[in-house]
C-alpha cells in the first residue's frame, strides 16, 4: 500500500501490487476450479478482498460483503460472483486509486 499526500490536502491510496497479487492467486485457484470443495481457499480470497475494500477500494465493498455471507458454505453462485464479477472488475480497474481531499 502506498500513500501520497499533497500540500493542497489531497491524499491518494494505492494498492496496485496487492491487487496484482490477488489476481495471480485467483488464477492459481482457477486451476483448481471449482474451489467449492475447498472452503479455505474461497475464504482466503474473500478475506483478501475485504482487506482491499477498507483502505483503498470501497467501490467493491458491497458485492464483497454479500460474498461474506456465503463463506461458511460457498455455492457455485458465490464462486461465480467472486471470479467473474468482483475479480473481473478489479482486473479492469487495477490502476484505480482512492483519492480524498480535506476541506
What pLDDT is recorded for position 65? Answer: 84
Most confident of 14-18, 40-44, 99-103: 14-18
**Number of domains the chain contains:** 1
What pLDDT is recorded for position 77? Answer: 82
pTM (2 d.p.): 0.74
pLDDT in tens, 46-102: 889 999 988 888 888 888 888 888 788 888 788 778 878 888 888 888 888 888 887
Lowest mean pLDDT among 13-22, 32-41, 46-55: 32-41
More confident residue, 2 or 28: 2
Task: Please write down the HEC assignment for all residues of the chain.
Answer: CEEEECCCCEEEEECHHHHHHHHHHHHHHHCCCCCCCCHHHHHHHHHHHHHHHCCCCHHHHHHHHHHHHCCCCCCHHHHHHHHHHHHHHHHHCCCCCEEEECC
Mean pLDDT calculated for residue range 15-37: 72
Is the predicted pLDDT of residue 34 greater than 60, yes or no? no
Amino acid at each position: 500500500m502506498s500513500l501520497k499526500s499533497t500540500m493542497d490536502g489531497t491524499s491518494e491510496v494505492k494498492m496496485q501490487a496487492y491487487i496484482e497479487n490477488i489476481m495471480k492467486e485467483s488464477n492459481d485457484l482457477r486451476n483448481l476450479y471449482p474451489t467449492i470443495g475447498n472452503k479455505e481457499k474461497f475464504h482466503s480470497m474473500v478475506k483478501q478482498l475485504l482487506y482491499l475494500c477498507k483502505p483503498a477500494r470501497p467501490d467493491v465493498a458491497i458485492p464483497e460483503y454479500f460474498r461474506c455471507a456465503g463463506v461458511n458454505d460457498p455455492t457455485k453462485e458465490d464462486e461465480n460472483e467472486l471470479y467473474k464479477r468482483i475479480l473481473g472488475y478489479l482486473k479492469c480497474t487495477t490502476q484505480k486509486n482512492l483519492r480524498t481531499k480535506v476541506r
